[in-house]
Amino acid sequence: MDLATFLDELRGQRAYRGQVVYEHRIPARRARYANLRRPLPPRLRESLSRQGIRRLYEHQVAAIEAVRDGRNVVVVTGTASGKTLCFNLPVLEAILEDPRTRALYLYPTKALAQDQLDALHEFGLPEVRFGTYDGDTPQERRKAIRETAHIVLTNPDMLHLGILPQHRLWSGFLRHLRFVVIDDMHIYRGVFGSHVANVIRRLRRVLRFYGANPLFILTSATIANPGEFAEKLLGLPTEVIDEDASPRGPKRILLWNPPFLDRAKSLRRSPYSEANWLFTQLVRRGIRTIAFTKARKTTELLYRYARFDLLEDAPELARRISPYRAGYLPEERREIERRLFTGELIGVVSTSALELGIDVGGLDAAILVGYPGTIASTWQRIGRVGRGRKEALVFLVALQDALDQYLMRHPQYLFDRPCENAVIDPQNPYILLGHLRCAARELPIWESDLDLFGPQALEIVALLEERGELVRRDGRWYWRGLGYPAQEIEIRTVSGDRFRIKEIGRNRVIGTVDAARAFEEVHPGAIYLHQGEPYVVRKLDLLEKVAYVAPARGDYYTQPRVLTDVEIKRELQRKPWGPTQVHFGEVEVTTQVIGYVRKQLFTEEVLGEEPLDLPAQVLRTTALWFEVPKELEDRVIRGEFDLAGGIHAVEHAAIGLLPLFAMCDRWDIGGVSYPLHPQTELPTIFIYDGYPGGVGFAQKGYELLDSLMEATLRTIEECACEDGCPSCIQSPKCGNMNRPLDKATAIFLLKSLIGRPGARVARGAQR
C-alpha cells in the first residue's frame, strides 16, 4: 500500500485525535562513488561482483585507503551504508596477499558476530578461514579456531575472560595479528565502555609482548565526538571518516503524542495502546513493521495485545508477528531473524536487541514506543527501515516523561542538532584497579607499561603492592594474588560484586544484579522481572548475596523509598554561572533504602507502602553541584514560597534531560537537593554519577550546564499541567515519592539563575 494513502486513512479514523504533532521528511539521496588508487585483488573483485557490488562508495574507498596507509580509522556513517566492507575488504586483501595475516573482530553481542559470520561466507573464499569464539563455541572447536582461523569473531567479554588470561594458547594468532575491528563503537559508552577501554589496553600490552602492532578499524552510528571517543577507547590517534556517500530512500518521520485525557493533570492516553493501534493498522495493510520498546516486559505485553486484536478479524496475520528480545535462546533469536528476513513475518516487536546491524531484510515502517534515550539510538532505529528505494514510515510515540514530552514540543532538537557526546572514563579508579590486577596476572608489569593505562596507574599499582597482591622485582611487578582476577570483573558493571537471584522451590539462578543496586532492585517485597514474568523477592540474604524470589501475581510494581546524603570530598573544577558558581568534583553519596511502595501498572495508583530495615550504602563518585545564592534564597523566602519544592523540581527535571546531552540513561545518574547543605551553607543541588568513581556523565553536565538548564526551564514552562507531572518535574525514581515539588518556584529559580529578565514567582505557586 502507498504510505501516503495509509496516513490519509489513519487520520480519517475515529481513534485519530490529532496525535501527529510534527512531520519530518528526509529526501532520497543518490550514491557517490569513487575508485581505489590500487585495484583490489582479482579474487575479491570477482567476489564483490557475485554479490552484486560493482562500485564502492566514497566513504568505503576513504576507509580502505586509510587502512592501506597504516592509519587507525573510525567510520561514522548511517545504517545500511556498507560499513562492513570498510573493514572486510582491507582485511581480506591482506589475508589473500599474506596468509599468515590474522584479524580480531569485536562485537558487542553474539548475534552481531553470528550475522557477520554469514557476511564473510558470502565472499566465497575457501582459503580464508574464520569462526566465532564466544561462550556458545563448543570446546572441541576452540583449539581449531585458535590455531587455524585467519579471522576470529568474538566479543569484549570473551576477550577479557577467555583470550587475554590464556594468551599463551593464542601466541601464534596474536604474533601475526594485523587488524582489530571494533564494530558498533558507540555501544561502548559509560561503564561498559570504560571497562572495554581497559580491556583494549590490556590487549595492546600483550600484543607488544608478541611483537604485534595492529591497526584498529572502528565503525559507529553517528555520535557528536567520534574522534575523541575513539581515541579514549583505544588510547591511540584515529582518523574519522564521516561523509556518508551511500544512497538512501525517502522517509517520513511522524512525532505522535497520545491525546489528553485530563489536560489539567497533563494525563494522556496510554502510549502502549496507541502503539498497539498503529502496529495492527500497519500489519493489517501488509506493511512490514518493526516496533521498538524500551523494556522486555513492554515487548511481551505489546505483542500479546497485538496478537489478541489480530486474532479477532485476521487470525492468519496473528501468526505472522513475533516478539524479539534478549533472554531468548540463541536458536530462537536466529529463527525469528530468518523469518523476518525472508518475509514470513510481517511484524515484530523488539527491544533494542534489533537496533544494531543484524540484517533483517527490507522493512517498511517502524514504531518507536518512547524516545530511545539518545539521538544516536533514535537514528539507528530509524535506519532499520527503508533500505531500498521505497518510501519508509516512522512513528515516534511519546511516553509521559519529561524527555519525550520535551521532544514533542521541540522536534527541531531531534532533527536539527547533532547526536550526543559518548562518554567514558577509562581512568575510573574502581575500574582501573581490577584491570591492572588482570594485566599483572597476564604478564609482569613494567613501569613503561603504565603509560598505556594513564597517570593514575602507578598510584594504583603501588596500592596493590602495599596490599601484597603485587611484588616488585627487577623493575617489574609480579602477580602474587590468588585466583583468576578476570572472573571477578563483570565488564558491563562497575563493581563486579553481584547478588544472585534464585527462584524458591526450583533452586535455579534466574539472574544477577550489581551489588550497588541490589538494595533498590531486589529488596524484600520488590517485584523483579525476568523474561517478562514478575517475581516477588521473599528474602534478601546479605551474607551470601542471594535474593530469593517466587512467581508474583497481580499487575503492580514496586518503587523503593531512599534517603540520600551527599558529602563533598574534593572540588576539581569550578566556574561562574549567572549569580552563582557551578562546581565539579568528588563526592561521597550515602543512601539507605527505608521502604517501598506498591504501584498499579500503567495507572500509577499507590496500592500500599511498607517499611524496610536495610543498611546504608556508601558510593564514592563524581558530581556537579551549584548553590542558590543568598539574595535569591531571600527573595523566595520573603514571598513565602516553597524553596525545597522548587530546588527538588529543578533537580528532577535536569536529571530527566541530561540524557539529551550525554549518552546516558536517567537511571545512570542520581541527584539530591538541599534547602541548606551543611558544607556550602546554602540551598544546593547535586547531580552525580550512579557508579563508583564516576564515568563522565556528571562532568558532561558540568561542561554543558547552560544548554542543560535552558532545556530544563523550557520543559517545565511549556508543560500543560498546573502543578507538575511526570512530563516535567516528577521522577519515577524519586526516593521521596515526589514530595515536595513546586513547579512555579522551579521556573522562578531557573530564570533567575540563567539570567532571564523579569523573573518572579507566580502567586499560584504558593503552598
Per residue in 582-605, pLDDT (tens digit) is 999 999 999 999 999 998 865 668
DSSP-based three-state secondary structure for 1: coil
CA distance linking residue 381 with residue 293, whole number of Å: 11
Please say whether the structural domain 33-241 has been given the CATH code 1.10.10.10.
no
Report residue 767's pLDDT band, with 50, 70 and 90 as the boundaries: very low
Residue range 645-662: mean pLDDT, rounded: 92
CA distance linking residue 709 with residue 585, whole number of Å: 19
What integer pLDDT is reported at residue 760 of this predicted model?
A: 66
Please tell me the least confidently modeled range out of 103-117, 149-163, 416-430, 532-546: 416-430
Is the model's pLDDT at 328 over the cut of 70?
no
CA distance linking residue 393 with residue 23, whole number of Å: 11
- pLDDT, one tens digit per residue, over 16-26 is 999 999 999 99
| Beta strand segments in 515-611, E | 527-530, 533-541, 546-551, 556-577, 580-600, 606-611
What integer pLDDT is reported at residue 766 of this predicted model?
A: 37
CA distance linking residue 450 with residue 677, whole number of Å: 40
DSSP-based three-state secondary structure for 450: helix
What integer pLDDT is reported at residue 763 of this predicted model?
A: 46
What integer pLDDT is reported at residue 355 of this predicted model?
A: 65
CA distance linking residue 155 with residue 132, whole number of Å: 9
CA distances to 628, 644, 750 from 578, rounded to whole Å, are: 11, 21, 10
Give residue 308's identity as a one-letter amino acid code. F
Query: Would you tell me which CATH number, out of the four given (3.30.750, 1.10.600, 1.10.10, 1.25.40), belongs to the domain 429-488?
Result: 1.10.10
Query: What are the residue ranges of CATH 3.40.50.300 in the chain?
Result: 3-27+248-416, 33-241
| 164: nearest Cα among 504, 487, 457, 547 | 487
CA distance linking residue 318 with residue 305, whole number of Å: 11
CA distance linking residue 726 with residue 732, whole number of Å: 8
Q: Are 48 and 284 in contact (CB under 8 A)?
A: no
> Residue 576 pairs with which residues in a beta bridge?
581
In the block, which residue shows the cell 533500505? 387
CA distance linking residue 564 with residue 582, whole number of Å: 21
Q: Are 237 and 72 in contact (CB under 8 A)?
A: yes
Q: Are 226 and 366 in contact (CB under 8 A)?
A: no
Query: What are the residue ranges of CATH 1.10.10 in the chain?
Result: 429-488
- pLDDT, one tens digit per residue, over 397-446 is 999 888 899 899 999 988 987 787 788 889 989 899 999 999 999 999 99
Query: Would you tell me which CATH number, out of the four given (3.40.630.30, 3.90.1150.10, 3.50.50.60, 3.40.50.300), belongs to the domain 3-27+248-416?
Result: 3.40.50.300
Q: Which three cell numbers stand for residue 383?
A: 535506519
- Predicted model pTM: 0.81
